[in-house]
Amino acid sequence: MLTHLDSQGRAHMVDVTEKNVTFREATAQALVRMLPETLQMIVNGGHPKGDVFAVARIAGIQAAKKTSDLIPLCHPLMLTGVKVELSAEGDDTVRITACCKLSGQTGVEMEALTAASVAALTIYDMCKAVDRGMTIESVRLLEKLGGKSGHFRAEQA
């Protein structure tokens, strides 16, 4: 059953008033593939716009905090922790991992996914002048803890 649809099939915001406040955590990822030269420029600090990873990290954190402004049926949440990590993998990939935490009545999966997505978009925006062929891939939930549905861990890709 889709929880964001009422009995007539109309979209609505889920009422979480009666749900217990519990610890919740979600981790998501995104991959940005690019030319090896582009990744080298980022890693070596040679980008004329500055530290690409630092800007993408801040963008991801800000995005997590604004998720309910972007996705219509998301509840505004009081996040207690947002961590966005970026790392070079191989010679052509940046892995972004975003983790969001809170004690609340609803989960933080959308916030983690939004953080990873916006961090990836920020890398694209900063590097598009030198590499328009970049791709953003594998945006997905890796793990979630807490809530009625319990623990979820994605299978290795």
Residue 102 counted as an annotated binding residue:
no
Residue 25 counted as an annotated binding residue:
no
The continuous run of DSSP H or E covering 145 comes out as strand 135-145
Residue 12 counted as an annotated binding residue:
no
Q: Is the dihedral of CA 141, 145, 150, 156 positive or negative?
A: positive
Alpha-carbon distances of 23 from 15, 84, 103, rounded to whole Å: 18, 19, 4
Catalytic residue among 6, 69, 91, 125: 125
Residues facing 82 on adjacent strands: 100
> Among this protein's residues, is 69 annotated catalytic?
no
Residue 100 counted as an annotated binding residue:
no
Residue 74 counted as an annotated binding residue:
yes
Q: Which residues are catalytic?
A: 125
Q: Provide the annotated binding site.
A: 73-75, 110-111
Q: Provide the annotated binding site for substrate.
A: 73-75, 110-111
